[in-house]
A = this chain, B = another copy of it.
């Protein structure tokens, strides 16, 4: 089984090589845990290895996403021009100037079918092997009973197109789980990013909860975010304070 290296320092050691090809990984975390940075770093590193990618921007203006990435030294513009990276604008609905310079625009944000069509086109155009949807939560935030079927549809399409995908899942601070049972059982892998207050200080850590098709570290690893992105301490363990399990 081929694995896609994340290229994130320390992460491939934890994944025993990378994310198995065609897997859909739920990247789950509360606000400020680094989900967008992780997934952008995954795409950027793919581009450096010659693997085309698609980023779906649901939460930020595509222009802002490009700026954020550039702030870490990940300037995707030349890759967009070369036709090996695509940004899907699922933020502006085509309102404002974005329609003049964005190529892939989802106009009706409540229409999953249209979204899948636009995404599929972008994937085919750049021959993407890596896809990030940031976030998948937005697709069902106001229709939770649809969550499972939306995630399964996306998984079917993207796996069918040969992509390895990260679905960003937004959860609340202190929420257990990864975004709801319908979602977390439907994906191939789950990585959770945590930001916990321990003795008056916020600590970052991540843990791989499942990953179909590979063994992986079962430990909680601390990580840092600096101006080069995420670095995971694959040889360290963070022990959280004792939890009360309900």
A residues sitting closer than 8 Å to B (CB atoms) are 1, 30-32, 59, 61, 64, 68, 71, 91, 135, 137-138, 141-142, 145, 148, 152, 156, 159, 170-174, 176-178, 180-182, 184-187, 190, 195-197, 199-203, 207, 209-210, 212-213, 215, 218-220, 226-227, 237-246
- With beta carbons under 8 angstroms apart, the residue of B210, B227, B237 that contacts A201 is B237
Q: Contact partner of A170 among B61, B181, B237, CB < 8 A? A: B181
What DSSP secondary structure best describes chain A's contact surface? loop
Residue of B nearest to A160 (CB): B96
Q: Say yes or no: B185 contacts A202, CB within 8 Å.
A: no
Question: Is B176 a contact partner of A181 (Cβ separation < 8 A)?
Answer: no
Kindly state the separation between the CA atoms of A171 and B185 in the bound complex, as whole angstroms. 9
Name 15 A/B residue pairs within 8 A (Cβ), A-sorted: A1-B71, A31-B178, A31-B185, A32-B190, A32-B209, A64-B159, A68-B213, A71-B213, A171-B181, A172-B184, A197-B220, A201-B220, A241-B242, A241-B243, A246-B246
Known: A31-B210, A212-B68, A243-B245. A237 touches B200 (CB 8 A): yes
A68 CA / B241 CA spacing, docked (Å): 36
